[in-house]
Chains A and B, each alone.
Chain A
Amino acid sequence: MSCTGPKPLAALVVAGMVLSQAACVTGIGYQRADLDHFLSNNLTAEALEVVELRRGSSRNEAINLLDKAMLLRMQQQFEASNDAFEQAKDVIDELDAISIGEQAAAVTINDAMRKYLPRTFERALVHCFKALNYLQLRQYDSARVEVLQLDELFKQEEDFRLPFARYLSGLVFEFNQEPDNALIAYRKAYEAYSERGSAIPGILQQDLLRLTDYLGRAEEHSLYDEEFALVSWPTQQVFRQQAHAVAILFNGLIPRLHSHEILAQSPGDGRMHRISTPFYERRYTRVYSVMLASDRAANDSELFADLEQHARAALDDEMPGIIARTVARVAVKDRVVDETAEEQPLIGFALNVLAVLSEQADTRAWYTLPQEILVTRLELEPGLHDLQLLLDGSLRADANHSWQQIELEPGETVVFGLHWPESYSTIGRR
C-alpha cells in the first residue's frame, strides 16, 4: 500500500501556518487597539488591565513584561515596575541564544513565529527605566547597578548609541557622589550626540563645563568652552550649594509598526503570492514643550532623546534580514503547495490560500515606550519649594502637574518623571 499523505516538510509548514492563523484570532489585534486607545488617552490603569489580561503565546512574553513594567511605572509603582523589568531581563537573557526551531519557523511560516527579542535600543531602555525607578525610590546604589549593566551592553554593541542613556548614567553617578565617573558618562553622551548629528542639550553643556573645571581637565574644558560659548555655568562649588529639580517628560508613544502587503497572482498557474513587510506609522505628540517652574524661576525643556529615530534605525538594520527570510518563505511555501497540488489539487489550492494568509509581517514591538524624552532642570535655593510642570500643547485639562512643599537640602537633586502618552497617528510611509 502506497502512502500518499503529506511529506514531513509539508506537514510541518501546514501545521505552522494553521497555528499562526489560530494565534491571530485569539485577540492579539484587538488587544493592541485597546492598548493604543487607552494609552493615547492617558488611561494607564485601563491599559494595565489589557496587558494583565493578555494570555497565550510565550512568543510575546518579553513584550508583555515590558509593557507591564512600563505601565506600573506610569502609575508610580516603581518597585512593582522594577520586578517586572527584572523578569523581562531574565527572559531577554534566555532569548539571547539563537533558537534553531524559531529560525526554521521564521523561514517557513512567518517572522512572528519567533519569540520576541527586544531590539538593542529597547534593551538599553530597560536599564534606563529601571535606573529611573530606583532614582525615584532614592535607591542610588541600585540605580548605579543598572548604569553599570547599561555600560556592559554598550561594550557589547559597539556601534550602538543612545546618548540619553549616557546622560542618565552621569546623573546616577552624581547621585552617588562620583564626579569622575559622571564626567566620563557625560563625555560619552556628548560624543554620542555629536556622532548622531544631534544638538547637545544645554544641561549637558553646563555639566561638562562644571565637571571638567572641577576635575582639572583644563584642555578639555577649554574645548567645550569654545564650542558651547555659554554665557555662564555653575561651578561645582555653586552647584553643591544649590538644590536641583530635574523633570523628565516621556512624551507621546513610539510609532506603531504596520504591515505593508503586496499581493500578486502568478500568470502561469494562477497561484497567489503575498509579501508582507513592516513599516512605521507617522505619530505625533500633542505636547511640544514642557516648563518646570518654581515660585522664583522657570526653565523650558530640551530634547534629550528621539526614540522614534532609534526605532526607525533599528527597523532599517533589520530590513535586509526580513527581506531575505520573506524570499526564502516564498520558495518554501511554493514547494509545499507544488508537491501537494501534484497529488491533490484541491488541497494544494487550500494550502496556497493558507500560505498567503500566514504571510504576515512581524509588527511586534515595545509599544508603551514614549516617542521622545524631554528634560528640564531648575536650580533652586535650598529649602521648601512648590514646583509646577507645565505641558504646552496638551488637549487635556489635567496636563499641568504640581508638587507642593518639596524640601531640598544644599546639593540635593530631586527627579520627577512623568509619562504623557497623549498622541495621535496617521498611518503612512515616511
Chain B
Amino acid sequence: MNRFPLAALAVTLCFSLALSACATRVERIEVDETRDLSGEWNDTDSRLVSEEMVRDALARPWLDNFINETGNLPAVIVGQVRNLSHEHINVATFVGDIERELLNSGGVQFVASKVERDQIREERQDQELNASAETVKRMGEELGADFMLQGAINTILDTEGKEQVRFYQVDLSLISLADNRKVWAGQKKIKKFVKKNSIRW
C-alpha cells in the first residue's frame, strides 16, 4: 500500500536534486580573493607577481641613480612581454597590473605604448585642424621614454598521470633606451601542484 507514495517521493527528491545541480549559481567574491579552479595561471598569480616585481624594481638602485643624474622621474614604456608558457595567458592584464603598480608608486612615469600612441597622434592631428589655438596640443612635444620594460613568462610542466607540477617563471627587465643597458632584472617563480580527478560519475 505504501510503496507507491514512497517511490513517488524518491523520484521527486531525485528530480529536485538533479535540477538544483543544473541551476546556474552566481556568487560575488572580492577581487583579491584567491580561488584556484583549474590550476592554470589566474588573476591571483598576475596580481601577486606584479606586486612583488614592482616592489623589487622600486627598491633597486637604478631608480635613485637615474633621479640623481637627471633630476627627473624615469619615463618607462612597456615593450613586449612574451608568453612562452604552455598556457594561453592574457599578457595584457598582467602588463596592466605592472603598469598600475609602478604608476601608483609615484616612482616612475609611463609613456603610451606604440598602439596607444597612434590613436593619440591621430587625435592631436585632428586638434590641429579643429581645436582652438589656446587648447590645441601640438605635435612633436611628446615625452620620450628613458627605459623599456620587456620580459617573458615561461613554464615547465612535470606530469605523471593525473598529477602535474606547474612551474612558472616570470622574467622582466628594464632596458635603457639611451644605451641598451639593462638596469634592472626581476624574476618571480610560482610552483603549483595540480591533481585532476581520475573518476567521475
- B-binding residues in A (CB < 8 A): 3, 86, 93-94, 96-101, 141-142, 144-145, 148-149, 152, 155-156
- A-binding residues in B (CB < 8 A): 3, 82-88, 155, 157, 159, 162, 196-201
Q: Taking A99-B200, A99-B201, A101-B201 as contacts, is the C-beta distance between A142 and B159 under 8 angstroms?
A: no
> Complex: how many Å from CA A98 to CA B82?
36
A145 to B201, Cβ gap below 8 A? no
Q: Taking A152-B159, A156-B159 as contacts, is the C-beta distance between A94 and B200 under 8 angstroms?
A: yes
Most chain B beta-carbon contacts within 10 A, residue among A97, A100, A149, A156: A97
| Beta-carbon nearest neighbor of A149 in chain B | B86
Q: Which of A3, A93, A100, A142 contacts B88 (CB 8 A)?
A: A142
| Beta-carbon nearest neighbor of A96 in chain B | B196
Chain A nearest CB, measured from B19 CB (Å) = 16
- Which chain A positions have C-beta within 8 A of B155? 148
B84 to A141, Cβ gap below 8 A? yes
| Beta-carbon nearest neighbor of A141 in chain B | B83
5 closest A-B pairs by CB: A97-B200, A148-B86, A97-B197, A99-B200, A141-B83
B83 to A97, Cβ gap below 8 A? no
A-B contact pairs, 28 of them (CB 8 A): A3-B3, A86-B88, A94-B200, A96-B196, A97-B162, A97-B197, A97-B199, A97-B200, A98-B198, A98-B200, A99-B199, A99-B200, A99-B201, A100-B200, A100-B201, A101-B201, A141-B84, A142-B83, A142-B88, A144-B84, A145-B85, A148-B85, A148-B86, A148-B155, A149-B86, A152-B157, A152-B159, A156-B159
| Beta-carbon nearest neighbor of B86 in chain A | A148
A155 to B83, Cβ gap below 8 A? no
A98 to B199, Cβ gap below 8 A? yes
Contacts A86-B88, A98-B199, A141-B82 known; list 9 others, CB within 8 Å.
A3-B3, A94-B200, A98-B198, A98-B200, A99-B201, A141-B83, A142-B83, A145-B86, A148-B155
- Which chain B positions have C-beta within 8 A of A152? 86, 157, 159
Q: Taking A152-B157, A155-B159 as contacts, is the C-beta distance between A145 and B199 under 8 angstroms?
A: no
Q: Taking A141-B83, A141-B84, A142-B88 as contacts, is the C-beta distance between A97 and B159 under 8 angstroms?
A: no
| Beta-carbon nearest neighbor of B160 in chain A | A156
> Complex: how many Å from CA A148 to CA B3?
59
A145 to B200, Cβ gap below 8 A? no
> Complex: how many Å from CA A156 to CA B158?
11
- Which chain B positions have C-beta within 8 A of A148? 85-86, 155
Chain B nearest CB, measured from A321 CB (Å) = 18
Chain B nearest CB, measured from A55 CB (Å) = 16
- Which chain B positions have C-beta within 8 A of A141? 82-84
| Beta-carbon nearest neighbor of A134 in chain B | B88
> Complex: how many Å from CA A3 to CA B201?
31
Chain A nearest CB, measured from B115 CB (Å) = 15
- Which chain B positions have C-beta within 8 A of A3? 3
Most chain A beta-carbon contacts within 10 A, residue among B83, B199, B200, B201: B200
| Beta-carbon nearest neighbor of B82 in chain A | A141
| Beta-carbon nearest neighbor of A98 in chain B | B199
- Which chain B positions have C-beta within 8 A of A100? 199-201
B83 to A145, Cβ gap below 8 A? yes
Chain A nearest CB, measured from B187 CB (Å) = 20
- Which chain A positions have C-beta within 8 A of B198? 97-98
Chain A nearest CB, measured from B74 CB (Å) = 28
> Complex: how many Å from CA A145 to CA B90?
12
B88 to A145, Cβ gap below 8 A? yes
- Which chain B positions have C-beta within 8 A of A149? 86
- Which chain B positions have C-beta within 8 A of A93? 196
> Complex: how many Å from CA A145 to CA B82?
11
> Complex: how many Å from CA A400 to CA B63?
60
> Complex: how many Å from CA A379 to CA B199?
51
A97 to B85, Cβ gap below 8 A? no
> Complex: how many Å from CA A93 to CA B200?
12
- Which chain A positions have C-beta within 8 A of B159? 152, 155-156
> Complex: how many Å from CA A3 to CA B2?
13
- Which chain B positions have C-beta within 8 A of A94? 200
Chain A nearest CB, measured from B88 CB (Å) = 5
Chain B nearest CB, measured from A16 CB (Å) = 15
> Complex: how many Å from CA A86 to CA B90?
14
> Complex: how many Å from CA A144 to CA B84?
7
Chain A nearest CB, measured from B189 CB (Å) = 18
Chain B nearest CB, measured from A27 CB (Å) = 24
| Beta-carbon nearest neighbor of B155 in chain A | A148
> Complex: how many Å from CA A286 to CA B3?
65
- Which chain B positions have C-beta within 8 A of A97? 162, 196-200
| Beta-carbon nearest neighbor of A3 in chain B | B3
> Complex: how many Å from CA A156 to CA B200?
20
> Complex: how many Å from CA A142 to CA B86?
9
- Which chain B positions have C-beta within 8 A of A99? 199-201
Chain A nearest CB, measured from B39 CB (Å) = 11
Chain B nearest CB, measured from A211 CB (Å) = 20
| Beta-carbon nearest neighbor of A140 in chain B | B82
| Beta-carbon nearest neighbor of B85 in chain A | A145
- Which chain A positions have C-beta within 8 A of B3? 3
> Complex: how many Å from CA A148 to CA B87?
9
Chain A nearest CB, measured from B127 CB (Å) = 33
> Complex: how many Å from CA A155 to CA B156?
13
- Which chain B positions have C-beta within 8 A of A144? 84
- Which chain A positions have C-beta within 8 A of B162? 97
- Which chain A positions have C-beta within 8 A of B199? 97-100
Chain B nearest CB, measured from A142 CB (Å) = 6
Chain B nearest CB, measured from A224 CB (Å) = 28
